[in-house]
Amino acid sequence: MTTIATRPPEKKTVLSELERVKPYILESLPDHVTPERFARLALTTLRKNPKLMATDPDSFVGALYTAAALGLEPEVNGECYLVPYGRETQLIIGYQGIAKLFWNHPLAARLSAEYVCERDEFDFDKGLAPRLHHKPAIGDRGKVIAYYAIVGLKNGAVWFDVFSPEQIKALRGKVRPSNIADPEQWMNRKTALKQVLKMAPKSTQLHNAVAFDEQAGSIERAGRVFAPAIEAPETTAPAEEVIKAEIVNGGFGDANEPWIDPVTGETA
């Protein structure tokens, strides 16, 4: 009796999975993002943060697919970040990512999100005659007492709302401790902006970005919200160790150096 040797199935890795689904990811890109540029950004992200290689392949591909579908470029101008949390890759959408999607809308006219300190001049009214006045103090402004966001369209429609620090904290939910100084309060301002955007008309991409960012704190769901199941075609995985060596030694620093999370400040 002849025994036929069978080749064990190749282990699924971040690189092999990325190679397999790359055509589907690139097809999901909106017109203003070129496939060539996005492919380079994906590889650069892995080179800059080799710890992403150790995360769950489905998680990484899902996060990258979501970024592509939203038209956000990883690690570019604070639009979004691919961050390893244990075995998962989490997509974090930055303030600039939300702003970019808003300004892509043909009716976009005004967008701002600010924080108010105790020494600022600040007053607002809501109801039938809404108004908002804010004149920041010069020098030491004191502690932060409020946040607000304003969204305006070319047809004259304007939405705004004001939030206390306690409201912002509750809206953000449980977040990981951060060692990064944020004197301009960007993460809290983004939270205020998302709430106001819920009231305004917006593109499907912006709607999806806000919805995704609202639940991104749930790491087990992050990166898989808008990623469809993709059937595996008959393909051969790339020579992973060669590509991995390129990523680790590709001129982006020592892979053994601790990586600092750009959002939370944690080292990994």
Give the C-alpha separation, 189 to 206, whole Å.
17
Give the C-alpha separation, 266 to 224, whole Å.
23
Nearest to 64 by CA among 100, 33, 31: 33
Give the C-alpha separation, 210 to 147, whole Å.
18
pLDDT at res. 121: 98
The structure tokens listed for 60 are: 């990484």
Q: Which residues have CB under 8 Å from 215's CB, separation 6+?
A: 221, 222, 225
CB 143 within 8 A of CB 192: no
- Per-residue pLDDT tens over the stretch 133-173: 999 999 999 999 999 999 999 999 999 999 999 999 999 88
pTM of the shown model: 0.72
Beta bridge partners of 153: 108
pLDDT at res. 258: 40
- SS3 call for 83: strand
